[in-house]
Amino acid sequence: MDALERIGFDRLGLVVTPPSAATRAVSAPLLAEFAHVGVRFTNPEEITDGLAGPHHELIAHVRAKRGGHGTYAPLFRGFPEKLPQFDDAVLRFVVARLRLLDCDATQQEWERALDFSRFGWWPASSIPQDSERADADRRAQEMLPGDSRIEWITARLVPADELEARLRDWMRDCFGSAASLREDVRSDLGVLVARLGADAVELSEVRFRENRTLLLELLWASDRGRLPYTGATPDDLLRLFAGLTGGDVSLTAPIRYPRLSRADRRIVVNTLETSDRLGDVFRRRGLWLAIDRGLHSGEFRAPRVRETFALLRRTRHDYTSFPSRFERALVGDHTTAVRLAATESPGLLGRGLRRLAALAVGQEQQDALVAALSEAAERIPLRVLLAAGAQLADNGKTYPRVVFGKDGSALPIVRPPGHLSVPKEFRTRLLDALDAAVDARIAAKGDWSAETVHVAPGLDRLLLPDQLRATAQGLVQVERGSRLPVGEAAVVRLFVHWREAGETSDLDLSCIALDAGFQAAGQVSWTNLSNGAMTHSGDLTSAPDGAEEFLDIDMAKATRIARKRGWRYLVPVIFRYAGPPFAALAEAYTGWMLRDDATSRNKVFDPATVANAFALTGGRRYAVPMLLDLETREVLYVDLYLGGEPQSRVERDGRDIATLVSAVAARRDTKVSVAALAMRHARVRGAGLVDDPAQATITFGTGTDCTYDALRPEKLLADLL
């Protein structure tokens, strides 16, 4: 499968159909094979016989995206109807040890000693995988039919030239995105720049600093001679150096200078020479003085650079960093600090607006902050203005909160309600200034008075993405705290699959029940295989050939039991009980299926029923992919990786998980929704709203046929922020 075709399918839902004849005898079976893995086409009449053959690779790719790496089988052959009548891991080990008293048991003897199946017990936990039995179970699974339910991936058949044109547009949208990009998207952009070039992308149109750095890194690898003509700034070059050496492109930590040939140094010096922001070297004087020692700028014909660096060595126009000067000013003179931020770092003024507002004392300081905000608003990114408005509107009511690292790790922020609250009248003035600034920025994006807009129901449940780089690489791409409906599925089947790369590993799938206040109210795991609404498939402690665990949630039973026991939320967790980190495993995937008939009569894993699946990564102790809200029948995206003690398990770590999950669920109170942004653009730009998408010229929804697909947000983030 060609790389461009793979990217076209993953990012745009496009499938290339080679030019050839189209016959019913070929096209009908092809469409049926795609439907078998949950792919359907908006224009099936365009399919050609040329797709026969190449379609096998695409179908294999779809299976892999949906978690279908290899074949799956449960530990219990009768799962989910037949479970052990009794299973107590500790008691079983004690009795097994008595069976083997006074002898040094082999591994095989231990397995036999632990098997009490003829007594109604089962080796459900704390035993290695039986490879021979697992192979037999997988072969038996292949003979079973799939589930009747299908979670569709909708695609469109296109010729090859249209695919390339659409990919160029997508590449431009990605680089123009006003938020970070997921690692898999960044990787795909690298392929596209290498294959299609980057002529369609202007650095001046790339606003987000991580995306600017990515573009410069890709140009450095493929066409570095173009750098002097891009308009790159000195800070862009520093971030490029950070990116090339594995440093932090935020420049908040020291960076290393990469090894450069003389030709490379000439390119860097020429880029500085042509930059209209050359004076910015004074903002990071120490860094540039250190770099100049390796750059040897005096060797090249670059009079502006030579003159600037000579002055840099003689004087300290910016002898301290901005953050240091800002914090010192904030302690001594609030108004001076605000003016400093408005002049030198408008983004910081926007990001720290609620804190600055809470610290403002008296009318003079409040007036100065409102004036500074109005003055600097046009230089503050629109997404920052929107976030500042949401934070001010919440006004410290929502705690705990959570922040995410680039690796998906989470840090809770626990404060008393009302922390950094702002007086009502002052808050109203700031919100008015923010609203005026946001409306002005949106109006500047163009007139929509001739357009009609449709905003699909449910987009108020999807939060505007702002940090996709740290999110999991799943089938759908949504911000943490967003909600999507489960629909009418009878059963939600959770799954985890992993395979070792040498060292023995043990992953445990568990599910915690929480009440409406996010307090633990029950659990299902390898220590508690069923509680009436949830059923666990049992535990395996090694996976040399690949192992799976499943957990079924019967939605009807769960809803009934929830009323009796006070449940509201079900939270699946994948614990790394023992063994290497997720990233060190040969394979590690998790996800969930929506099933109509989750019984032993059907395959335990049917890729067409998978609603979402993604790889487990990183070195943390456990992962929390999502939360199931029984009251609203919605999946809330959590996507957390958390630390913990060795041998993590649900009984010990459930409370920490509940705290963080509650913080993710509360993000709806401090974030802007996709629907709110869409409606605001329609209002400010003069568009008419319609209820029927067929009557709209601009549509917002969750499908590839929409103008703005909230599940593929690159275009939305580029055009509307």
420, part of any domain:
yes
For residue 426, the enclosing domain spans 322-443
| Whether 516 and 473 share a structural domain | yes
Domain total for the chain? 5
Question: What pLDDT is stored for residue 316 in this prediction?
Answer: 62
Question: What pLDDT is stored for residue 368 in this prediction?
Answer: 93
The answer to whether 654 and 503 are in contact (CB under 8 A) is no
Where residue 704 falls (left for φ over 0; alpha for ψ -120 to 50; beta otherwise) is alpha
685, part of any domain:
yes
243, part of any domain:
yes
> How far apart are alpha carbons 391 and 384 in whole angstroms?
10
Report the candidate in 268, 271, 233, 238 with the shortest Cα–Cα distance to residue 256.
238
| Whether 294 and 393 share a structural domain | no
Residue at a domain's end among 293, 314, 335:
314
The answer to whether 610 and 591 are in contact (CB under 8 A) is yes
| Whether 354 and 368 share a structural domain | yes
Question: What pLDDT is stored for residue 251 in this prediction?
Answer: 83
The answer to whether 696 and 450 are in contact (CB under 8 A) is no
83, part of any domain:
no
Sheet with 610-615: strands ordered across: 534-536, 547-554, 491-499, 587-595, 610-615
Q: What is the CATH number of the domain that holds 556?
A: 2.60.60.30
Residue at a domain's end among 132, 158, 184:
158
| Whether 300 and 336 share a structural domain | no
Report the candidate in 76, 66, 35, 70 with the shortest Cα–Cα distance to residue 599.
76
| Whether 496 and 627 share a structural domain | yes
Mean pLDDT by 10 residues, the chain (721 residues): 94 94 91 95 94 94 90 85 67 76 72 64 57 86 92 95 96 92 91 92 91 95 93 94 89 84 94 92 86 89 92 67 70 85 87 92 93 93 94 93 78 88 95 96 96 97 82 80 92 92 86 91 82 86 84 93 92 88 90 92 94 88 91 93 73 77 93 96 97 96 92 92 92
277, part of any domain:
yes
DSSP state of 352: T
Question: What pLDDT is stored for residue 230 in this prediction?
Answer: 93
> How far apart are alpha carbons 362 and 495 in whole angstroms?
57
Question: What pLDDT is stored for residue 85 in this prediction?
Answer: 61
Under DSSP, is residue 413 helix (H, G, I), strand (E, B) or coil? Answer: strand
Q: Measured in Å, how far apart are the chain's first and last C-alpha atoms?
A: 35
219, part of any domain:
yes
CA dihedral 272, 278, 284, 290 (to 10 degrees): 40
Pairing of strands 506-514, 520-524: antiparallel
Question: What pLDDT is stored for residue 324 in this prediction?
Answer: 67
For residue 375, which amino acid is it?
A: E
> How far apart are alpha carbons 449 and 59 in whole angstroms?
44
Query: For residue 560, with 0-12 CB atoms within 10 Å meaning exposed, 13-18 middle and 19 or more buried, which class applies?
Result: middle
| Whether 278 and 407 share a structural domain | no
Question: What pLDDT is stored for residue 541 in this prediction?
Answer: 77
| Whether 700 and 635 share a structural domain | no
| Whether 330 and 388 share a structural domain | yes
397, part of any domain:
yes
345 phi, psi to nearest 5 deg: -145, 75
| Whether 429 and 516 share a structural domain | no
Question: What pLDDT is stored for residue 3 in this prediction?
Answer: 95
Report the candidate in 459, 447, 461 with the shortest Cα–Cα distance to residue 709.
459
Report the candidate in 616, 633, 500, 475 with the shortest Cα–Cα distance to residue 66.
475
Question: What pLDDT is stored for residue 200 in this prediction?
Answer: 87
Question: What pLDDT is stored for residue 318 in this prediction?
Answer: 45
387, part of any domain:
yes
| Whether 658 and 700 share a structural domain | no
| Whether 528 and 664 share a structural domain | yes
Report the candidate in 690, 636, 697, 678 with the shortest Cα–Cα distance to residue 661.
636
| pTM of the full structure | 0.86
> How far apart are alpha carbons 418 and 422 in whole angstroms?
9
Pairing of strands 610-615, 688-689: unpaired
**323-331 long-range contacts, CB within 8 A, separation 24+:** 330/356, 330/359
Name the residue with tokens 């499943």.
550
Residue at a domain's end among 314, 348, 383:
314
| Whether 327 and 277 share a structural domain | no
